[in-house]
Amino acid sequence: MKCGMKILVVLLVLGGLGYAFYKHSGFFLYDHSPMQYMPNMHHTRVLIPQRGYDFFADGAGARVPPKGSLAREQNPYPYTKETLAEKVSRNVNPLPATKAVVLKGQHVYNNVCIVCHGSLGVGDGPIVPPFSKPPSLQSEKIRGFADSQIFHIITVGQNVMGPYAQIVPENDRWAVIHYIRAMQRAYQPTTEDLKAFDQLTTKKNEGTTAP
């Protein structure tokens, strides 16, 4: 290779490395006059939360919603924690007890309630103790409660059990009640339940037994 050729190759390699450094190192990125590609995105006309705004009498940019306004899909709940569940109106569950709804309820129960109330609802969840033992969901009291009375306890809480309205959306609360009902029926089945269960299992086993 001729000497001139060698110099050319070295220059090309150095040039390439230099260009790569300029492009990718970020070394030349921050100069004293940053370019704003879309200044309207930096200097938006939208009010910035926590920043003042002279237009309003109180000088605050963030506004308090007008009294009585509701967020979308937020249903006001008329009772408070002080209202006893027994005093709540005995409304019916707005959700039908379909398989999908009961399975949704099971999902909620297993994720939220089971740690205290246990897999059968008798109050033997894995964190009891140290958490105080809840009364059984299989009791005559809860069996006799209307769904809306159970809904009330989940929504606002009861004594040491906190409210679950923030974690469990309204429909999931109704769904978990259907699951509690299913648990109650599994725990203390009626004669009809047992008959239906027998029919179901014989149907399932048909063809599996020898003739």
Q: Kindly state whether residue 142 participates in binding ligand HEC, applying the rule CB under 6 A.
A: yes
Instruction: Pick one of 47, 60, 120, 161: the residue that binds ligand HEC (CB under 6 A).
Output: 161
Q: Kindly state whether residue 102 participates in binding ligand HEC, applying the rule CB under 6 A.
A: no
* Sign, Cα dihedral of 160, 149, 135, 82: positive
Q: Kindly state whether residue 163 participates in binding ligand HEC, applying the rule CB under 6 A.
A: no
DSSP 20-66: HHHHHS-TTT--SS---S-HHHHS-SSPPTTSB-TTSTT-BSS-PPP
Tokens of 188: 């203390």
DSSP 55-103: TSTT-BSS-PPPTT---TTPPP----TTS-GGGS--PPPSS---HHHHH
Task: Round to whole Å and give the CA distance between 176 and 197.
Answer: 22
The answer to whether residues 127 and 52 touch, using CB atoms and an 8 Å cutoff, is no
Our CB check for ligand HEC shows the closer of 95 and 116 to be: 116
Q: Kindly state whether residue 183 participates in binding ligand HEC, applying the rule CB under 6 A.
A: no
Our CB check for ligand HEC shows the closer of 47 and 81 to be: 81
Instruction: Pick one of 59, 160, 203, 208: the residue that binds ligand HEC (CB under 6 A).
Output: 160
Our CB check for ligand HEC shows the closer of 60 and 161 to be: 161
Tokens of 128: 């009891």
CB 96, min distance to ligand HEC, A: 19
Q: Kindly state whether residue 7 participates in binding ligand HEC, applying the rule CB under 6 A.
A: no
Binding stretches for ligand HEC (CB under 6 A): 112-113, 115-117, 131-132, 134-135, 137, 139, 141-142, 150, 153-154, 158-161, 164, 168, 176
